[in-house]
Amino acid sequence: MTLKTGSQLHFDHVDRHFLSQKQDHVGVSSDEILGLLGSVGLFGTWRLEIDTGQVFWSEDASRIHSMEKSEGPVSLSHILATYHPEDAELVEQVVSAATSERKNFRFVLRVKSSTGGHKMVAVAGRYRANKGGELIGYCHEFNESVRSIVFTGD
């Protein structure tokens, strides 16, 4: 969890090594895991090129941010405009710190919704040493309590 204390950010150590966990006995493939995550709600993935500030993201990530889907890059500044101003400032600090310190991160922030209010979005990511460096991660709409059951035909 990332905490803002005064003007300093503190990162906890988010190092789960999910992919290295022995999963054979479970009998669920990586593709099935992604399908399960996507069936819960919108589940977006993204990649930020540090040198250019360009973000490449999945269709669900654009929907979560109430933006049109894009096959090409979206500027980080355009995405930051979808956040609550306090949270946009925090995201800029996290991107800077995660890049310079090569840290993993996770947080929950407010994104402007299409109805005029804000919705909560959970984000997690990590630094990836690739070319000029990248941040990669996922996002999903965050509902503090889910108390409904929905059966689908899928």
pLDDT digits (tens, 9 = 90+) for 47-67: 999 988 899 999 999 999 988
Give the C-alpha distances (Å, rounded to integers) separating 148 from 24, 145, 152.
Answer: 31, 9, 13
Round the average pLDDT of the chain to a whole number and report it.
80
**pLDDT (0 to 100) of residue 83:** 92
Which pLDDT score is estimated for 46? 94
Q: pLDDT value at position 73? A: 92
**Residue 116 confidence (pLDDT) above 90:** no
Fold (topology level) of 41-141: Beta-Lactamase (3.30.450)
Alpha-helix runs per DSSP H in 4-58:
30-40
Q: Rounded CA gap, 90 and 10, in Å?
A: 12
How large is the average pLDDT for residues 34-56? 87
pLDDT band at 138 (very low <50, low <70, confident <90, very high): very high
Whole-structure pTM value: 0.75
